[in-house]
A and B are shown apart, each in its own frame.
Chain A
């Protein structure tokens, strides 16, 4: 019976990865800030996940289980590769304002970028990846109450930052 479960898990896993790979990449990229490293994290995460797939009890949790692996692999990666964050050419080009209306977006991007990782990840997982706050807490290995307070703090910080930026533009 166990083998059959494992086999089914594998099929579902492969399907999940194929469908959502871009989401997982974006999440990894948000930690590594570098294309090559994000690809490495995605690859490492998939391999790790497949090796422990049999131990996943409920298929329903697979998605948040895999988010957890990506987050931990990324954090582990950062811990081992403490170094200057390199922005690759594509991103640089993409961030370089070509027209007036892009300016505002750059400010916004920075608003999220400037958040410490502990706040940024809560925002991303909850709002952009549509995960329940309880799942976010589980993925990040923190208490639900901690997740909540970090989210509030993040929103507060974002608002303050964006207001500051607006103020500056108004003066300039």
Chain B
């Protein structure tokens, strides 16, 4: 090789590698593995499989609805409190994990199920963080942070939608959002499949979202989504968004609109963060079981 090129190569190779690289890489690999596992395989999106899945959830929810309908209406005394908070404050390590608790639900089973879930997940986050910190110290130091908490998306006479977020900061960050929506009057947990007559909602919602993604990308060059026409050339699409999961994260807005939520990296590049789409009720009408929740 030419002498000058050799020197250029040396220059190139001498660019300092940040200490965080190891950690960012391991983290990305770990998250990547998790995502691969959670991801519905392509065949699952086929109609037969989706139908089977839907039947399974129908079998669960009517039974649940029946038991729950016997419970008297309690109105809106249901509330959300911070049950516990984990905090770590060290020079380069920062953790703040707030665990919510739903209070005053007459339906103790539902309250316990949700609160147990919140508590064990909060504890697991904290434990994970502690072991990450140990690992970082082992490899010679670095920064790590976790911020987890909750926000009430909707709290009206009928609906309580609570969203729990987890922001993991190591070099760069990832954000995960999980929602639970409760019918406060009937005291039942609302799931996405249960709102619709059949599995056709997956198709209806997905098509609407893809349409919205394209519109946004066309009118705002700062927005990119992983769909055809979503702001990046087709040949650069590695992981095209085709359809929502049957149990995609969602909440019901104060105005009774269905809002679908995607985590960071799920349907768009990282800089887009968490993205949400409100689905117009007109679009959903033909698939909805009733307009009680969504209107």
Contact = CB atoms under 8 A, between A and B. Distances in A.
Interface of A: 6, 10, 14, 17-18, 21-22, 25-26, 29-30, 35-36, 39-40, 42-44, 46-53, 69, 72-73, 76-77, 80-81, 90-91, 94, 105, 108-109, 111-112, 123-124, 127-128, 141, 158-159, 162
Contacts of B232: 76
Contact of A94 (B16, B18, B27, B222): B16
A85 to B, nearest CB: 14
Interface stretch (B88-96, B235-243, B278-286): B235-243
B62 interface: no
Contact of B7 (A39, A108, A123): A108
A17 B13 contact: no
B141 to A, nearest CB: 15
B17 A25 contact: yes
Contacts, number: 127
Interface in B3-35: 4-5, 7-9, 11-18, 20-22, 24-25, 27-29, 31-33, 35
Contacts of B16: 90-91, 94
A28 to B, nearest CB: 10
19 contacts: A22-B21, A25-B17, A26-B17, A44-B269, A47-B32, A50-B33, A51-B35, A51-B238, A69-B238, A76-B236, A76-B269, A80-B222, A80-B224, A90-B18, A105-B7, A109-B11, A111-B8, A123-B5, A141-B235
A121 B289 CA distance: 56
The main secondary structure of chain B at its interface with chain A is helix
Contact of A128 (B13, B269, B270): B13
B9 A127 contact: yes
Contact of B24 (A26, A42, A128): A42
Contacts of B18: 25, 35, 39, 90
B25 A46 contact: yes
B59 interface: no
B171 interface: yes
B131 interface: no
B66 interface: no
B271 interface: yes
Contacts of A42: 21, 24-25, 28
A31 to B, nearest CB: 12
B25 A17 contact: yes
B238 A108 contact: no
A135 to B, nearest CB: 16
B29 A50 contact: yes
Nearest to B271: A80
B4 A108 contact: yes
Contacts of A49: 32, 238
Nearest to A124: B12
Contacts of A50: 29, 32-33, 35-36
A80 B269 contact: yes
Given A43-B172, A80-B269, A91-B16, A105 B29 contact: no
Given A25-B17, A127-B9, A128-B9, A43 B36 contact: no
Of B232, B236, B265, chain A has the most CB atoms within 10 Å of the CB of: B236
Contacts of B9: 127-128
Nearest to B232: A76
B1 interface: yes
B181 to A, nearest CB: 28
Nearest to B21: A25
Contacts of A53: 36
Nearest to B39: A51
B11 A39 contact: no
A17 B31 CA distance: 14
A43 B4 contact: no
Contact of B25 (A21, A48, A94, A128): A21
Given A42-B24, A52-B239, 9 more contacts: A25-B17, A43-B24, A44-B270, A47-B35, A51-B36, A105-B7, A109-B11, A158-B4, A158-B8
